[in-house]
């Protein structure tokens, strides 16, 4: 159980892209060609095991077409890149009212620690990994290929 009584989960919104880039103050801070754009959000009680699971899942996710056109290849197999963007708004809860509540998201200091560790884990794979800037106001530009968009989450396991 999470610290607020519910099950907290690391969340990732994954898009297969032809290209993606992140700009801060008009300056490009991270970009990839073909690959995966991954928006990630963290819960306060996310564990190292959850981060490892998500990194492994992303690097082996078979969402790129093989010779027959079937989604059967990973980002590693197609020589693609990964762009990781921290996005606490993945925890926006709009069940009540019209203003999102973010009480399920990890507090900023904890989320930054989790994000930095997640980036480190992803960089252990033979795939170029680019990032946005944690906590910055970012502009994200992408060309979704397919379109292919997946929602992945993993509960913290005690």
pLDDT tens digits, the chain, 158 residues: what are they?
344 444 568 999 999 999 999 999 999 999 999 999 999 999 988 999 999 999 999 999 999 999 999 999 999 999 999 999 999 999 999 999 999 999 999 999 999 999 999 999 999 999 999 999 999 999 999 999 999 999 999 876 65
Cα-based angle 12, 3, 86 (whole degrees, multiple of 5): 25
**Number of other CB atoms surrounding residue 110 within 10 Å:** 15
pLDDT of residue 154: 84
Marked catalytic residue, from 87, 104, 118, 131: 87
**Using omega within 30 degrees of 0 as the cis cutoff, is the peptide bond preceding 77 cis?**
no
Residue 1: the pLDDT is 37
- DSSP strand E in 25-137: where? 27-32, 35-41, 64-65, 71-73, 81-86, 129-131
pLDDT value of position 13: 98
Separation of alpha carbons 51 and 49, rounded Å: 5
Say what the pLDDT of residue 2 is: 41
77 is catalytic: no
Q: To the nearest 5 percent, what fractions of the chain are helix, strand and coil?
A: 20, 40, 40
Q: Is 118 a catalytic residue?
A: no
What residue has token string 């990890």? Answer: 106
Which domains are assigned to the chain? 9-155 (3.50.80.10)
Beta-bridge mates of residue 139: 23
Q: Distances in Å between the alpha carbon of 95 and those of 62, 68, 91, 100, 153?
A: 33, 43, 12, 8, 19
Q: What is the reported pTM?
A: 0.92
Name the catalytic one among 28, 77, 89, 124: 89
Q: Which pLDDT belongs to residue 44?
A: 87
Q: What is the pLDDT of residue 7?
A: 54
Active-site residue (options: 39, 42, 64, 88): 88
64 is catalytic: no
Rounded CA separation 49/44 (Å): 14
Q: Which two tokens stand for residue 22?
A: 């992140």
């Amino acid at each position: 159980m999470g610290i607020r009584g519910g099950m907290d989960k690391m969340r990732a919104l994954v898009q297969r892209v032809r290209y993606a880039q992140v700009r801060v103050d008009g300056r490009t801070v991270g970009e990839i060609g073909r690959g995966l754009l991954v928006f990630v959000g963290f819960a306060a009680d996310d564990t190292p095991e959850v981060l490892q699971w998500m990194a492994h899942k992303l690097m082996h996710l078979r969402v790129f077409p093989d010779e027959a056109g079937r989604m059967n290849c990973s980002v590693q197999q197609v020589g693609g890149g990964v762009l990781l963007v921290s996005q606490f708004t993945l925890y926006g809860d709009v069940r009540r009212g019209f203003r999102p509540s973010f009480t399920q998201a990890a507090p900023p200091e904890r989320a930054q620690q989790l994000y930095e560790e997640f980036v480190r884990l992803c960089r252990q794979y033979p795939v170029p990994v680019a990032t946005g800037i944690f906590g910055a106001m970012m502009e994200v530009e992408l060309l979704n290929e397919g379109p292919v968009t997946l929602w992945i989450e993993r509960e913290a396991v005690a």
